[in-house]
């Protein structure tokens, strides 16, 4: 498994990152541990989680995923061989994260989150601690193709980025985290964190975890240049568009046990004209003799600006296919065919 530099941290992470958001909901602990074992055996050295997980977020399950990962390390060891990443929630009215009150990106809430994550993960430090989503009002994903009312909304109690960054500086100095990253962030947000860092407020962000897939290439507009010139690593999530690019929902299919059948929370990937785009890419994959899921993951994994593709699976067959994407030879012919469809359908699922 090829390793790539993580920002300017000096760490190297595998081209595939093992995502974990199904562990504790769709997957039990034994199934999650089997996924970790397979991924590590295949050369993955990077695991991503969050205080919010598993998905869908609920007070009765929140934190289970981190506990499952912590149990793995306690049972099997090897913490020092894994780059472990977690996330703190941004502004949210959900009160179960902070014991009965809303959460913001302020010192008390960030420290509460990191201490709980460290305890559940049964570790003394996190290699990468990420801001799951901003404190300010932005569209989910923070990189829309059309701007809505959020662009004109500034909250009176919005937490300044400099204030949040100062907290992460404190966490680094205390040794609780080694580096920090952003997620679901815009070009403006990334540049503001960089500017505050350049002004001496705190460390530079090492990474940006944003959605990126065949049906959402919005990272390529502005953010790609920002991250390339500032050495901020892209960690891509949702490479299969929550399963739609696997082909399993083609022609209205609704597989039993699928995320859509269980939770019906895939609206980000069900926007107008999205289904036609999913089908076009699935058909294209098959024309190259590849499974749609393998093709879609290979597109993400092999992009020249990609640091790590965060894959998720609910069974070992799915995970093996995702890991195989690191070995696919992505050709100019494949890229041209993908770009031809993209020219026609654009980014239907930002």
Q: For position 151, what pLDDT does the model report?
A: 67
> Which 3 state secondary structure label does DSSP give 86?
strand
Question: Catalytic: 53?
Answer: yes
Assess whether pLDDT exceeds 70 at residue 182.
yes
How many CB atoms within 10 Å of residue 91?
20
Strands in the chain per DSSP E: 3-5, 12-14, 16-18, 46-48, 83-88, 126-131, 177-183, 207-211, 233-237, 306-311
Q: What is the C-alpha to C-alpha distance for residues 72 and 138, in angstroms, rounded to an integer?
A: 36
| pLDDT attached to residue 49 | 98
Q: 216-260: per-residue pLDDT in tens? A: 999 999 999 999 999 999 999 999 999 999 999 988 889 998 989
Q: Which two tokens stand for residue 25?
A: 């909901």
- The reported pLDDT for the residue numbered 131 is 98
- Domains of the chain, CATH where assigned: 3-243+297-329 (3.20.20.100)
- Whether 243 contacts 266, CB under 8 Å: yes
Can you tell me the distance from the alpha carbon of 172 to that of 167, in angstroms, rounded to the nearest whole number?
Answer: 9
Catalytic residue among 53, 193, 212, 237: 53
DSSP 268: G
Is the peptide bond between 193 and the residue preceding it cis, with omega within 30 degrees of 0?
A: no
pLDDT tens digits, 23-55:
999 999 999 999 999 999 999 999 999 999 999
How far is residue 189's CA from residue 133's CA, in Å, rounded to a whole number? 11
Find the radius of gyration of the CA atoms of the chain.
19
Amino acid 250: pLDDT: 87
Reported as type and span, the H/E element at residue 260 is: helix 259-263
| pLDDT above 80: residue 150 | no
DSSP string, 188-256: HHHHHHHHHHHTTSSPPP-EEEEE-BTTB-GGGTTHHHHHHHHT-EEEEE-TTTTTGGGTTTGGG---T
Alpha carbon 3 to its chain's center: 18
In tens, the pLDDT along 306-328 reads 999 999 999 999 999 999 999 99
């Amino acid at each position: 498994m090829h390793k790539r530099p993580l920002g300017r941290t000096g760490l190297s992470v595998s081209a595939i990152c093992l995502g974990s958001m199904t562990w504790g909901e769709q997957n039990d602990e034994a199934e999650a541990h089997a996924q970790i074992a397979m991924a590590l055996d295949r050369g993955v050295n990077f695991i991503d989680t969050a205080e919010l997980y598993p998905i869908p977020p609920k007070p009765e399950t929140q934190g289970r995923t981190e506990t499952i990962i912590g149990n793995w390390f306690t049972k099997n060891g090897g913490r020092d061989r894994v780059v472990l990443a977690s996330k703190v929630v941004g502004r949210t009215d959900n009160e179960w994260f902070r014991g009965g009150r809303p959460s913001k990106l302020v010192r008390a809430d960030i420290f509460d989150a990191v201490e709980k994550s460290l305890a559940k993960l049964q570790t003394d430090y996190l290699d990468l601690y990420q801001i799951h989503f901003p404190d300010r009002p932005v569209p989910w994903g923070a990189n829309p193709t059309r701007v809505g009312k959020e662009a004109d909304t500034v909250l009176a109690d919005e937490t300044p980025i400099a204030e949040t960054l100062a907290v992460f500086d404190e966490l680094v100095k205390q040794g609780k985290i080694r580096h920090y990253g952003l997620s679901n962030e815009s070009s403006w947000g990334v540049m503001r964190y960089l500017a505050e860092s350049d002004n001496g407020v705190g460390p530079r962000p090492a990474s940006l975890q944003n959605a990126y897939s065949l049906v959402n290439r919005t990272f390529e507009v502005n953010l790609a240049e920002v991250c390339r010139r500032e050495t901020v690593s892209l960690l891509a999530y949702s490479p299969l568009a929550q399963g739609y690019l696997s082909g399993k929902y083609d022609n209205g299919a609704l597989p039993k046990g699928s995320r859509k059948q269980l939770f019906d929370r895939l609206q980000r990937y069900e926007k107008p004209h999205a289904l036609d785009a999913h089908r076009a890419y699935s058909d294209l994959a098959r024309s190259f003799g590849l499974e749609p899921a393998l093709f879609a993951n290979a597109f993400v994994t092999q992009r020249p600006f990609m640091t790590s593709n965060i894959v998720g699976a609910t069974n070992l067959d799915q995970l093996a296919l995702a890991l195989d994407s690191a070995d696919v030879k992505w050709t100019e012919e494949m890229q041209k065919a993908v770009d031809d469809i993209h020219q026609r359908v654009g980014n239907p699922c930002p």
